[in-house]
Amino acid sequence: MELKSNIAAVTGGASGLGAATAEYFASQGCKVALFDLDQERGEKHAASIGGLFVKVDVTDETSVNAGLDAVESWAGGPARILVNCAGIAIGSKTVGKHGPHPLDAFEKVIKINLIGTFNCTRLAAARMCEADPLSCGDRGVIISTASVAAFDGQIGQVAYGASKAAVAGMTLPIARDLSGNAVRVCTIAPGIFMTPMMAGMPENVQQALGESVPYPKRLGEPSEYAKLAAHIVDNQYLNGETIRIDGSIRMPPR
């Protein structure tokens, strides 16, 4: 599937990996809608790339459907590409100094990272399945975001690691579910990337994390995630796969 003249929705599109993906897709001639709760940042970024911003809560069915409706009205057709980048991370041990892991915190991470991803996937996929196939045969492509924490979860990452492992785990079943409808599904599992959260850390911490990557010895650039997402869209034989992009790092316990 080509990015040019196609329509994409990117969740978490106001910052980080989502913002970089939206920017790169737009530079390739794709019509891009940003779904996010950060309206000020989202509207500014959408304006800078000639896209659309819609305030969307990925965990809410009504909100996501309203966002997809807005995309269709704006672009003149359904989103054929969905990139799920919305997510949060917390640090808390199963049992810590102050007792067991707060259950509400665990539930919040699962709700946004896992349920939010599935909610957007199922609703966008339903519209893709109703659309006519494109000239390449695809009806749509869905890309979700896991993490190396899905496989190498560190101390304090039980909630985050569980949510991302589940995103990776549902990739193949969803791809198989949608195979008869010509909708492809893949997941990207990033390593240590230069996101806004990382940018807020001290320079020496950033440098140490970068040097822990076997090669290249640096943090990942959000544009590298975006280019991998673009390749998944372009390469029709990529389906049902979770792809690590991490400089071959395997995370230590802490």
Q: Return the bridge partners of 242, or none.
A: 187
So what's the pLDDT on residue 45?
98
Q: 186 with 238: CB under 8 angstroms? A: yes
| Catalytic residue, candidates 24, 160, 225, 237 | 160
Question: Which pLDDT does position 216 carry in this prediction?
Answer: 96
- The pTM of the full predicted model, rounded to 2 decimals, is 0.96
Give ∠ CA 49-50-56 in degrees, rounded to 5: 85
CB atoms within 10 A of CB 152: 18
Superfamily of domain covering 7-192+222-244: NAD(P)-binding Rossmann-like Domain (3.40.50.720)
For the chain, what are the domain ranges? Answer: 7-192+222-244
Q: For helices 222-234 and 16-27, what crossing angle results, to 10°?
A: 50
Annotated catalytic, 24?
no
pLDDT one digit per residue (tens) for the chain, 254 residues = 999 999 999 999 999 999 999 999 999 999 999 999 999 999 999 999 999 999 999 999 999 999 999 999 999 999 999 999 999 999 999 999 999 999 999 999 999 999 999 999 999 999 999 999 999 999 999 999 999 999 999 999 999 999 999 999 999 999 999 999 999 999 999 999 988 878 777 888 888 889 999 999 999 999 999 999 999 999 999 999 999 999 999 988 88
State residue 198's pLDDT score: 80
pLDDT of residue 11: 98
- Residue 195: its pLDDT value, please? 85
Residue 225 CB burial class (10 angstroms; 0-12, 13-18, ≥19): buried
